[in-house]
Structure 1
Amino acid sequence: MHVARNTTEVLDGTAGNVVSIGFYDGVHLGHRALITALTKLASERGLTTTVVTFDTHPARVLRPEVAPQLLCDLDQKLELLATTGIDQTLLLHFDAERAAERAEDFVTSVLVEALNAKVVVVGEDFHFGHRRLGNVALLTEMGERYGFEVIGHHLVGVDWTDARPEQQVSSTAIRRAVVEGRISDANEMLGRPHQIRGTVIDGDKRGRTIGFPTANVAISAEILQPADGIYVGELIRSDGETLPAAVYQGRRPTFYQDQASSILEVHVLDWEGDLYGEEVQIRLHERIRGDQRFDSVEALIARLA
Structure 2
Amino acid sequence: MQQEWLAERFEEERRHLFGVAYRMLGSTSEAEDAVQDAWLRLSRSDADEIDNIGGWLTTVVARVSLNMLRSRKTRSELSLDAEPLGSRLPDPTVVLDDTGNLHMGTQDPAERAMLADSVSIALLVVLDQLSPDERLAFVLHDLFAVPFDEIATMLDRSSDSTRQLASRARRRVRGRTPQADVSAQREVVDAFFAAAQDGDLDRLIGALHPDVVLHADLGSGITTYRGAQKVAGNAVMYAHADRVTHSALVNGAAGVAVTFHGKLYSVMAFTVVDGRITEIEAYAAPAQVAKLADSLGLESAHA
Query: Could you say which structure has the higher helix fraction?
Result: 2
TM-score, with length taken from structure 1: 0.27
Q: Work out which of the two has the higher radius of gyration on C-alpha atoms and give 1 or 2.
A: 1
